Amino acid sequence: MRPLTEQRILVTGATDGLGRYLAGELSAAGAAVIAHGRDAGRLRRLRTDLGAEVVRADLADLRQVDRLADEIGRSHDRLDVLVNNAGIGAGADPSRRAESADGIELRFAVNYLAGFHLTHKLLPLLRAPARIVNVASAGQEEIDFGDPQLRHGYGGMRAYMRSKLAQVMFTIDLADELRGTGVTVNALHPATFMDTTMVRESGREPASSVAEGGAATLRLITDADVDGVSGRYFNGTREAEPHPQALDPAARRRLRELSDELIAGALA
């Protein structure tokens, strides 16, 4: 990888929690950070605090994801790292099912599908050596392709865990697609119940710090010891086995087909 002072890094969900920590650390190290968020006020504060470039989009709307990718493509000819960090938890009322602007189950839409689409749109900017880091979770539940949007038996945590497994499945698939290009993609569970707004709103007691999860994520963004490593899932800094469905090529193909279908329908 190039020295950090020569890198341009896009971090989604950069106005709070882990994303905010990553944007701060990377900016302090001299990287040119593009910080994404959906709240204009928070983005203004972030630009003031870090001097970072900021971009705004609601990832629950695939047309805004499209616009975000186009905006970045018009402004820049290269990205060195894409960090798909933005996400939402189980929700304050985990029994209430919600949908995105496109009529897609909200957690699947924001946590997985937006990053899937954004990554594919930005691939022309990610030229070797470059890295993609997907912030997933150890909480993973098998996707039922008979009811992928959980219209029956809904639970916020179930939806969250399925969206996080989808991220890992996407990571493995994309690594195969990018083999030999010099662009790597990995996923990680940064730390358990970090002290973030998402965790506090869920009613759980934080069990780790944002800095702990940040260190694990920064390793995948910056460290030379993961040069050339791709298609892996990490629990913190250790490589780990994801849910067995992530290792099933047929399941990954079904997820890819479903994702393409949902995106095509939303953007038609």
How much is the pLDDT for 195? Answer: 62
Q: List pLDDT tens digits, range 25-75.
A: 999 999 999 999 999 999 999 999 999 999 999 999 999 999 999 999 999
| 241: CATH | 3.40.50.720
Told to judge if 21 belongs to the known catalytic residues of this protein, a careful annotator would answer no
Q: List pLDDT tens digits, range 92-123.
A: 788 999 999 999 999 999 999 999 999 999 99
Cα dihedral sign, 120-88-59-25: negative
- Catalytic one of 21, 112, 154, 160: 160
User: Which residue segment(s) compose the domain that 179 sits in?
Assistant: 4-267
Cα dihedral sign, 115-120-125-131: positive
Alpha-helix residue ranges (DSSP H) falling in 83-155 = 106-107, 114-122
Query: What pTM does this model have?
Result: 0.95
Q: List pLDDT tens digits, range 240-251.
A: 999 999 999 999
What is the DSSP pairing of strand 233-235 with strand 238-239?
A: antiparallel
Q: How many domains does the chain have?
A: 1
Q: List pLDDT tens digits, range 147-173.
A: 999 999 999 999 999 999 999 999 999
CA distances from 256 to 35, 197, 243 (A): 27, 31, 17
Residues 231, 25: Cα–Cα separation, whole Å? 25
